[in-house]
Every structure is written in structure tokens, then in C-alpha cells.
Structure 1
């Protein structure tokens, strides 16, 4: 006679299902931007039929999607939304504090973090070097776009629409000052 499953067994099964689903989501992330069912099944070491059932549930909830042209699977909009929410909860300055001080110690140079603000590259935290002569900058300082290494990094990686106005102002000021 078959043994009836207890409520505890059913709860464990639901938790195991959640674990399998998250394993498949992680695999989709690792194999991104998209992957075939067979490659995904091989990656998670499960039968393709089982992975397919989980993918159908993930697609229905928006966490995965299937490309109609290739039949490949990838992460869906809900996975993006959850990822962005997690990123938004990270205190970047707190995470960067230890590596910043380690860099300062290794180089014996002042180090800082700048973010792109409404006026340009803005210093938000500083780890000053411990020596007689150092380059001094202050929190809140706005660095030039065209004549500072920090500004040049932002100019290189930000979309041009973000920097064009500041670039044009600085170019005009440099030409008038020359």
C-alpha cells in the first residue's frame, strides 16, 4: 500500500521545487544571453523534460522567456526587475570602502570615488594617503571632464548625450583661456 505523504513531506517538496527553480534561473544567468534546452539541462544535470516543465512555470511568471526564432531560453523581465531591486539595495560606498583603503595602502596615494552628478564627476568619498605631501581633494569637489583623469574616464564610458553639454562648456572655457 502506498504511503500517504504528510504535510511536512509536501512542504519539503515545495521547498525543493523552489531550489530547483532557482538553480535553473542561476543557470540561465550563467549561460546568458540565451541557451538551448539541452545545454541548460546538461548544465543543471537534470533531464530535459524536467527542466522544460520548470521553464514553462518560469516563463508563465515572467522570470524566463523563449525566443520564438531560435527556441533558446533566457532570463525574462521579472528576473531583471528582481536583479535591479537587489542592486538598488546595495550601498556601493560601503562595499567599496575596504578595497579603496587597500588600494590607498598599496599605492601610498590618496584614492577617491567619484560619481556622475548633475555638474559632472563628483567626489563622494576619499581615502587620503599618509605621507608628508599629498594631492588634496575634498568630498563634493566636481572634477573637470576634459582635464582630469576621472573626467576622462566618465567621458569615455558615459553616453555622449550625458556629457556633451559639459564638454562643450569646458572646451569653450579652454579656448578662451588659451
Structure 2
């Protein structure tokens, strides 16, 4: 058999496999259900994404994805390959595991930013940053700790590796200190243990000192602990139940000391208070 004929047969086999796959009932639907007309291959692809969402942080092997999504290994592999090619999924070249990729992070962050309390906080932060002509970020609690969901350039370009989707260190960032201040220790303990296991260790006494200070002042600051030469001042945004829903952070160069004068601090705190009250906070 020549190569051309073999390729034609392989393509035909793939087409047949696709058709068989697309006839699988969507998850949660029986064969007797009548869902709205849709592209079933997309629905099946979502099964693969869900399977990866339920996997550990370091990802899953092909057989695990196939089992969780209810597909054969060859079917799961073809979907994974398409997702890898588009950045939705990434594959670890060392161990072959698959995990959600950078584009999946962007999709999640974009969806989260549309949640009403987060949108309000983001709009207030953007107005503040334009007025101050500096850069800032909005963060929420994610699966792995404080996570940046909006990066807003208000006029001061900063060279940094931080971006939407970045996870900030709980023990060494002003954002992290606010989550330690306002969230349950049971909630944050796992992330602290992971950070310490990876080599980032801040003593319990020092963390407690910073927590007490943040509670008294209503904000937290760090200088160069996340990015050398970069300072941050972070303020909390609360909801109607007095829960921390996000943090607003204003960034500056360490030498820009005017960002730590009382008038500037009060302006930043006022923006967070205004956002909190718009959400329903009564404080």
C-alpha cells in the first residue's frame, strides 16, 4: 500500500471515529433526551476540559483523562492534541501529563472579572489608577492562592513578570497579607504549607505582626518582596456579608515615596471603601 492510500484510509478512519464520538450523549443527558441542536464535538471537548479541571495541579495522564471524560484513549488524545495546539491545554514534556493551559486561565479570569462585585471593584480601581497615573492590579482568591484577574496600566509602565493569572505569594505580598488578615486560617493554611515546602518561609511571628498591622491600618504594603524595585499598597474590598471578595493593589517604584504619604494612602483606601459600599458593605 502506498503512502497516499494509507493517508486516505487513516483520514477516513478518523472521520468515522469522529462521527461515532459525536453520537455519544452529552454528559448528564440520556439517549432519550432532546437537547437543542448543537455541535456535539464541542460538548464532548468540554468533557475533556472538565476532566482536567478535576485532576491534581500537576495534571493527568492520557488514560486518566479518557476515563474521566468517558472516551477511548484515541478519542481523548485527538481532543487533547487540538486543545494543546490552541493553548487551552499544555503537556508537560518531562512526564507527559496534561493540564489546563494559559488560554484556559485567560478564559477563567475573563469570566470571573464579569462577576458584578469584581467588575465594580475593577472599575473603581481603573478610575483610581488613571487619576494617579500608575499601574495596579485586582486579585481574588483562586485555587492556588491570591490570583491576579485584572492588570491595569494607568500610565506608569513597569517591567515585571506579573500578569493576569499570576499567583501572588501569600506570605510575601501585600495582597497575600490581606487574605491572611481577613480569611480563615483553615482556608489559607494549605497555601502557606505549599509555599514553605517550596522554600518561601516567613515566620509565624512575622506574619502575625503584619496581620495585626494590616487590620489596624486597613491596608498592607510591601517593598521589593515580590518584584525587586517594585512596591505595592493593597486595600481590601468587602461584600455585604463583610467577606473579602477582592483586593485592589497600587504599584509604584520603590523610590516613589509619595505613594506612602497619608493623603495618597487615604485616596487609595477611599476607592476600596467606595467599591465595597457599592457592593453592599455596611462598614
Name the TM-score, length of structure 2 as normaliser. 0.33
Richer in helix (by share) = 1
Larger Rg, first or second structure (1 or 2):
1
Per the normalisation by structure 1, the TM-score is: 0.49
Q: Which has the higher contact order (CA 8 A, sep 6+)?
A: 2
